Structure 1
Amino acid sequence: MLGVLGNWYKRKFSDPNALMLLLLILFSCAILYLFGGILMPVLVALVIAYLLDVPVTKLENAGIRRSLATTFTLIVFLCVCFVTAIALIPIISKQSVNLIKEVPLIWESAQAWLATLPQKYPSVIEVGYIKSMMEGVNERVVSVGEQVLSASFSSLGNIAAILIYIILVPLMVFFMLNDKGFFVASISKILPKERVLITQVGEEMNTQIANYIRGKVIEIVIVGAVTSIAFSILDLRFALLLGVLVGFSVLIPYIGAAVVTIPVAIVALFQFGFTAEFGYIMLVYFIIQALDGNLLVPILFSEAVSLHPLYIIIAVLLFGGLWGFWGVFFAIPLATLVKALITAWSTPKLANDTNDAQIA
């Protein structure tokens, strides 16, 4: 067994470039795992910097100094975020509170409907089973409510952290964009000399991550806006709140769309019952999901490396479990990174040939 592992190691990592790439990946994962919470503002700033790098670069190419281009782009971005927050947060908060208040009514209606099932289908469903199920759900709802209440009180202490984000993140974004060349050169000096594969994978992932972040933000905005408008036209209650949920559901491929269908269907069913209006809402919702998956995603992520849906789901579960929200957000780029690493390590001779060509 040890001989097999030794032969595999020599075959895959006898090239110093492959070994340096492996050590860099292990070191980066260890840093994120141990200090991910502390470095979260830096990661947030890095995501925003990726998002704003394209307009800054275009303004610089147009003849504007990079410092002025960075300042202008960042001010516009912050103004858009501020206006959006002022316009949407009060409405979303109000709809969230109203929805929470109506949850007991929705559950009472569901209980009344469940109580009628044994009478309609006595040979299939027993009364005792329905009662035991409702008692278990009631106990679970109470425990969840207590957890939400305790979390809301504990979150009051995070106000200072939010203020730190508001001040520090824009500053870090400015420095990352304005001094991009300096940081790239500094990182290059730190990297080892045996970095052919590191450069190869790094350049590929830099393009992938930049395209993914911009595409994902555009997808969230489009899907959320279209869903909110459609639900408002159909006179569905909590239209903006549900539209925002549908928009953010695209962060989790496949799983998000399936999960967010539940609140949409429950609210529509509670408001309209089994009527034509309920059917129209669900039809429009599924049309939006179909257009997102078959039209919008191919357009926005046409340059992304294709991955099998099973690999994407596994990546969401794995990286989401490790790093929470940001693990879910970067699940596809991280899965693409794993694929790029496997490809790079599977062809170590190509790296050696490239290195020999550069030396020559």
Structure 2
Amino acid sequence: MIRPIQLPFYAKLCFSLLILICFAFIFCLGKDIITPVLMAFLFAVLLLPIFSFLKVKLKFPRHIAAAFCVLLFAAFIVGILVFISYQVKDIASDFDTIKKNINAFIIEIHKFINENFHVSIGEQKKYLDTVTKDSVKNSNASIGSFIISLSDLLLDCTIIPIYTFLFLIYKDHFILFLAKLVNKEDHTKLKDILSQIKVSINNYIVSLILEMIIVSVLTGLGLYIVGVKYFILLGLITGILNLIPYIGIAIAGVITLFASLTGTGETSIIISILIVNVIVQLIDNNLLVPLIINSKVEINAFVSIIGIIVGGAAAGISGMFLAIPLLAILKIIFDRIESLEAWGYLMGNHVPRKFTWRIRRAKAEN
């Protein structure tokens, strides 16, 4: 019988870090291919209960059940986009009012700066003209990058449903592949890992949807109270963009401020909108996220922030969205592998009540 090789701690640590670096390098190198696959995997896990219900309970063929799940999910997304497009069309019809209110708001800003910082309006306009000229010089590069990003988005919108459909069809095939990679005595552990990954991803995505709904309702209600037009649309946009960590709420705030100019350009309305966004974010970050999100994925805030930053640097917004579920999957795997259990504990949010070092005193030699 071959005995397993016992490696010292520093060797195990080096191998773990080397594997982590290799995976990170491969992801950064092939992010345009890997990111849609991971997004499709998350959507497939989310749709798996519906797929199983159609296939087992209603006796649908595998291909028809998978196609129905994908079409149902696509119809849900398209329905939201259609609603938003109709509302945006109404906002576009108020473009003249928006332009007029923007000019009035800019004049108020000029007067405020002139009165409080003693900078003349002419100097302010001169500075704005300089900034505008510098931005125009870089407009060609910005337009080119925008076109590339738009083409990548359209490609992802086409390929992700196909990947999701294939994941649902070949679910059992992939599970058998994983079973062939491990020893038979570890099949129970593999089954436990896969079931926990399924539960964790489902809980995470459902929690995100619930958080999105609550943020949308709170924002829409707050905007309605302060008298903002199109409060339903702006609340929905805020809830959707809130799914993007850090930058999503900033983009939603800019859109809300812009849309508020359809009614009036008064500074008090803009300040009220900022107050509503701040209050909603405080409720979201201090109440909704700890109760709804963190309780499901069991990842501590420190690891979550680092993961989101690394995901954003590696794959942009998609990487930021994928960071938390990927960390949750890694934690589940680490918790069930004895040699990696310490890393799973490091990623978790288990805070011990008290920890003291126990030092054994050596017996005095004669």
TM-score, normalised with respect to structure 2? 0.67
Q: Deviations over 1:69-128 (max 9, x none)?
A: 4344333223333333333334336647977x888766644542343245423xx54448
Other-structure match for 1:186: 177
* Mapped contact 1:225–1:243 kept (Cα < 8 A): yes
Given the alignment, which residue of 7, 11, 32 partners 2:9?
A: 11
1:239–1:52 Cα change, 3 Å: same
Alignment match, 1:53: 48
The alpha-carbon deviation at position 253 of structure 1 amounts to: 3.6
Say whether the 8 Å CA contact 2:102–2:265 is kept in structure 1.
no
Task: Say if 2:297 is the partner of 1:304.
Answer: yes
Which residue pairs with 1:289 in the alignment? 281
Which whole-Å CA distance do the structure 2 matches of 1:143 and 1:194 have between them? 64
Q: Which residue of 1 aligns with 2:200?
A: 208
Check if 1:274 corresponds to 2:267. yes
Q: Which amino acid aligns with 1:11?
A: F
Residue 224 of structure 1 and its aligned partner are, at CA, apart by 3.7
Counterpart residue type for residue 120 of structure 1 = E
User: Which amino acid is the alignment partner of residue 181 of structure 1?
Assistant: D
Distance 1:228-1:152 versus aligned 2 partners, 3 A rule: farther
Task: Say whether 1:139 aligns with 2:133.
Answer: yes
How far does residue 37 in structure 1 lie from its aligned partner after superposition? 1.1
Aligned partner of 1:176 among 167, 172, 179: 167
Q: Whole-Å Cα distance in 1 between the matches of residues 243 and 160 of structure 2?
A: 22
Which residue of structure 2 aligns with residue 316 of structure 1? 308
- 224-233 vs 51-60, which deviates more? 224-233
**Structure 1 counterpart of 2:297, one-letter code:** A
Larger RCO (CA under 8 A, 6+ residues apart): 1
> Partners of 2:71 and 2:219 in 1: how far apart?
29
Q: 1:141-185 CA deviation, whole Å, 9 max, x = no partner? A: 5457555544566678x39x837843x433432231233121111
Partner of 2:77: 81
Take 1:330 and 1:305, find their aligned partners in 2: how far apart are those partners? Answer: 16
> 5+ residue gaps in structure 2?
1-6, 343-366
Distance 2:41 2:341 in 1: 32
- Summarize the alignment of residues 108-147 of structure 1 with structure 2, pairs less than 5 Å apart: 108-117=103-112, 119-121=114-116, 124-127=117-120, 130=124, 133-139=127-133, 142-143=136-137
Aligned equivalents of 1:82, 1:26: Cα separation in 2: 38
| Superposition deviation, residue 43 in structure 1 | 3.0
- Distance in 2 (alpha carbons) for counterparts of 1:96 and 1:324: 29
Q: Are residues 201 and 141 of structure 1, via their aligned partners in 2, closer, same or farther at CA, if it must alter by over 3 Å? A: farther
User: What percent of counterpart residues are identical?
Assistant: 23
Instruction: Note closer, same or farther for the CA distance 1:118–1:321 as it changes in structure 2 (3 Å cut).
Output: closer
| 1:195–1:132 Cα change, 3 Å | farther
Q: 2:27 aligns with which of 3, 11, 32?
A: 32
Q: Structure 1 counterpart of 2:74, which letter?
A: L
**Distance change in 2, residues 1:339/1:84 (3 Å):** closer
Amino acid at match of 2:128: M
Q: Secondary structure at the match of 1:303?
A: helix
In structure 2, the CA distance between the partners of 1:342 and 1:189, relative to structure 1 (3 Å rule), is: closer
1:323 deviates by 0.9
Q: Shift of residue 284 of structure 1?
A: 4.2
3-state SS of 1:326 partner:
helix
For residue 246 of structure 1, report the CA deviation from its aligned partner: 1.4
Letter of the 1:81 partner, please give it: I
> 1:117·1:125 contact (CA, 8 Å) conserved in 2?
no
Cα distance in 2 for partners of 1:165, 1:258 equals 24
Distance in 2 between residues matched to 1:260 and 1:84, nearest whole Å? 16
CA distance in 2, matches of 1:134, 1:219: 40
Q: TM-score, normalised by structure 1?
A: 0.68
Cα deviations by residue, 1:228-255 (Å, 9 ceiling, x for unpaired): 5764676534646643441233224455
C-alpha separation in 2, matches of 1:57 and 1:210: 14
The change in CA–CA distance for 1:75 and 1:268 in structure 2 (over 3 A counts) is closer
- Equivalent position SS for 1:330: helix
Equivalent residue letter for 2:133: E
> Does structure 2 conserve the Cα–Cα contact (< 8 Å) formed by 1:251 and 1:328?
no
> Aligned pair 1:91/2:87, yes or no?
yes
